[in-house]
Structure 1
Amino acid sequence: MKRVLVIEDEMPIARLVQVYLERAGYDVHWNEGDQWSVETFLTWKPDLVLLDLMLPDQDGMEILERIRQYGSCPVIILTARGSVPDKLQGLTLGADDYIAKPFDPEEVVARVQAVMRRSTYIAEADTIRLGSLTIDFSAQLASLGKEPLSLMPRDWQLLAFFARHPNQCFSRDQLLDQVWGMDFEGGDRSVDTAVKRVRKALQHWSGVEGEISTIRGMGYSLRVY
């Protein structure tokens, strides 16, 4: 049974989300936010985190950053802070989706299911090598030579998608559909931000064996020399 950790200080909202997720077959643990700690996260080992940003004693963005330091667990932000700058900040820090309050609990369940599917769809038992760049789908790891790359979950998914389709150009909308999912509402700037992070991770590979190219007016392509 997949585990969902809900970090939310408002009990009625947390209970509503918990009821709907449990009906959908998830094991749900509620944390009020002020009691959250890295130890809780590492001990319970959730498969996904639903994170409120407006907590009484902690900054949700700081919690997101700390979760990212300890692994690639998918995180969906669930908050009343629904402005575009807040969304972009959350997605830049590695959130997998962003749901603004008020919300439909059935939509929350659907978003959780979608993110769960996306986090596992590339876990296949094969490996792609592009020069010194190795993409191991079974372990969900990428490395340059013997050095593993540090990638956020979404960045890993983006690089894996590019690696399966080298030398093909994809528009931002196509990448949103294929990597983020058709129900994602963060906008195509999320693609630009993720591409920038992946390029930084590939800085020692780019220009030597390949690169992620910007095709003006069309989109992005993983060019392999």
Structure 2
Amino acid sequence: MKVLIADDDAQMLRAVRITLAARGYDVITAADGKAALDAAIASHPDLVVLDLGMPGLTGIEVIEALRGWTQVPILVVSGRSESWDKVEALDAGADDYVTKPFSADELLARIRALTRRSPAASDEPIVTFGDVTVDLAAHLVTRGGSAVRLTPTEWRLLEVLLRNHDRLVTRETLLTEVWGPQYTTDTGYLRLYVAQLRKKLEAEPSAPRHILTEAGMGYRFSSAAVT
């Protein structure tokens, strides 16, 4: 199993690397947030262990960037013990949180618990369809080489569809993930934003070939042109 460890504390980074390597893990290390994100894109780890207070990009920013294109388990290890720090990290997309100092046994147990979950499908940070390229890690969309501006809601909707490539995503799931559980009956919002995405990304918005409607159920994204 490949584990990415990101921490600007060199002593902590070395200790965790030695602990995991001794248990047979393939360990990749990064000393700041940008290096962590670059390493994740290049190596596709099975688990990410990261600190919150890193230079370059903070741990929260790294989590948010990762969640733009991957569901890899993320374990935060931080000296911040306040409840709001934990809530912020978990809300950003972290799966678990361990407060420093911690024992090697606790860290290993948390890692085992996370890796018992079903592994995510292979994740690619760049998705292309038609003349559109979406960089999920950088939150950039281009069409025919020109930048396309998406609103935060449009981006979140596109992100959920791309993450579920070729799978039906129900209306209820999209409404919950994009707007929240209190909006599961507001299908008008969904139709409006799907129409806006199609105008920006489809060659023929009235006859979409990539952002597809599953009548009575929801939507499906396909990178292959559907005729």
Q: So what's the TM-score if we normalise by structure 2?
A: 0.54
Match of 1:39 in 2: 38
2:14 — aligned with what? Answer: 15
What is residue 101 of structure 1 aligned with on the other side?
Answer: 100
1:159-170, aligned counterparts within 5 Å?
A: none
Provide the residue aligned with 2:29 in structure 1: 30
Cα distance change of structure 1 residues 101 and 38 upon mapping to structure 2, 3 Å threshold = closer
Q: How does 1:1-225 map to 2 (within 5 A)?
A: 2-33=1-32, 35-36=34-35, 38-120=37-119, 143-144=169-170, 149=174, 197=180, 204=187
Q: For the Cα contact (< 8 Å) 2:175–2:181, is it kept in 1?
A: no
Question: How many Å separate the matches in 1 of 2:4 and 2:91?
Answer: 21
Q: Is the 8 A contact 1:142 1:149 kept in 2?
A: no
Contact kept, 8 Å, 1:74 with 1:119, in 2: the verdict is no
TM-superposed deviation, 1:106: 1.8
The alpha-carbon deviation at position 94 of structure 1 amounts to: 1.1
* Cα displacement string for residues 149-177 of structure 1 (whole angstroms, at most 9, x for unaligned residues): 599xxx8xxxxxxxxxxxxxxxxxxxxxx
**TM-score, normalising length: structure 1:** 0.55
Distance of aligned partners of 1:15 and 1:35 in 2 relative to their CA distance in 1, 3 Å threshold? same
1:85/1:44 Cα in 2 relative to 1: closer, same or farther (>3 Å)? same
CA distance in 2, matches of 1:109, 1:144: 36
- Which residue identity does 1:13 align to in structure 2? M
Runs of 4+ in 1 over 6 A off after TM superposition: none
Q: Is residue 6–residue 36 contact of structure 2 (8 Å, CA) maintained in 1?
A: no
Structure 2 residue identity aligned to 1:69: G
- Deviation sequence 1:99-129 (CA, Å, 0-9, x none): 00111122111101100102449xxxxxxxx
Structure whose alpha-carbon radius of gyration is higher: 2
Q: Which runs of 5+ in 2 are unaligned?
A: 121-164, 188-215, 217-227
The unaligned stretches of length 5 or more in structure 1 are 122-138, 156-195, 210-225
Q: Percent identity?
A: 31
SS in 1 for 2:14: helix
Q: Is the 8 A contact 1:5 1:49 kept in 2?
A: yes
